[in-house]
Amino acid sequence: MDFLTLFAIYVGVVLTCIALVCKYSGQQQSPFGLLFDSVTKVIAPWTPLWLQSFTQRTLHMLFHQRNRMFIYLHILLEGAVYTEFTYEVFGYCRDMDTTLSSLSVPYVLLVVKSCFFYLCIRREPGTVTKKRHAGQLQVYPYDKRMFHPGVCCPTCQLVKPARSKHCRVCNRCVQRFDHHCVWVNNCIGAQNTRYFLLYLLSVCAMAADMALLTVDMLLHAVVRSGILQARYIDDDGQQQQAGMLFVIQHLFLTFPRIVFMLGFLVFVFLLLAGYTMFHSYLALVNQTSNEWYKGRGNVCQHCHPSPDHFCGLPASDQSKRWFYSRGVLRNLGEIFFPLRPVQKKDN
């Protein structure tokens, strides 16, 4: 049972990290940042300078520059899961007379997900350019709380349209900026938010369906083996009825790769399901994650939070935070049919 105990501790640590990420996301100070700074200060005196420099360059390249490393990692993990599913689970399910239509669903979802994944990568998110700038300024009104007229981007040298933000990774201002996603190596903005949301939904559906098929296969394997009626001798020499922990340990020993694949699928589903619900909620209220983060600290584009300086609505008017919401149906329509800059025809 030692292995199961270690696995349970691992699951607990992972779930705790997920909870902390959800709680402290968008805050400048978090336990992760404080822990990283503390560990860095402790090990820095014993770390060679070349290793420190290499680590800093690597982290900067991965998280502060556009690169395809996470796209390749995404494809590698997906390929490993589907290889294991096809090589072992598919065959076991066919032996248990699972229909081909049920087994084909994960592959159909893979094709659908891949289409949305490609669109997230390749679709232009809504870059603010000089050619479209005049029209982009008219798409959204300024709420004068988080977005104020006349604020100029010091990098792009253009007045920021409402709901836009300069992405430091892509080095461009993006209309209706949501966030920069390293997994698609692109910004998520006005023109590709719909693809990103559908991509998340398809990944969740894919992980859930594969997990259900795998659980069904393992349950059939347990029933066929008759292990539920088995007995074993414990450390005290007493006969014991095989319980749930014994069955789980038996599955670990009999189908180790399948069980680890199932654990990975459940982990991905739980992680992305919460993230998908968060973005679905933002779509329903017509808010971006950038605006949600700013709304938590009430920070606008040209001031810094401080006790004696607040820019925006007074505390009594915070119920007006959903400035851009126009009703659920219109909000969803804006996601899937984004507003476009007004193009002025040349006379």
Residues noted as catalytic: 181
- The two structure tokens encoding residue 97: 């007379």
Residue 286: count other Cβ atoms within 10 Å of its Cβ: 22
Q: DSSP of 55-123, one letter per residue?
A: HHHHHHHHHHS--SHHHHHHHHHHHHHHHHIIIIIHHHHHHTT--HHHHHHHHHHHHHHHHHHHHHHHS
- The two structure tokens encoding residue 222: 């347990």
The label of the residue with tokens 């779509």 reads 283
Query: Do residues 144 and 312 lie in contact, with contact meaning Cβ atoms separated by under 8 Å?
Result: yes
- The two structure tokens encoding residue 319: 């119920």
Burial class (CB in 10 A: 0-12, 13-18, 19+), 37: exposed
The helix, strand and coil proportions of the chain, stated in percent and rounded to the nearest 5, come to: 60, 5, 30
Question: What region does 204 belong to: left with phi over 0, alpha with psi -120 to 50, or beta?
Answer: alpha
Q: What angle do CA 73, 76, 82 make, to 5 degrees?
A: 140
Q: First and final CA of the chain: distance in angstroms? A: 80
Return the closest-CA partner of residue 313 out of 165, 144, 196: 144
Return the closest-CA partner of residue 203 out of 122, 80, 130, 106: 106
At 130, the amino acid letter reads K
Cα–Cα distance measured from residue 261 to residue 207, given in angstroms and rounded to the nearest whole number? 10
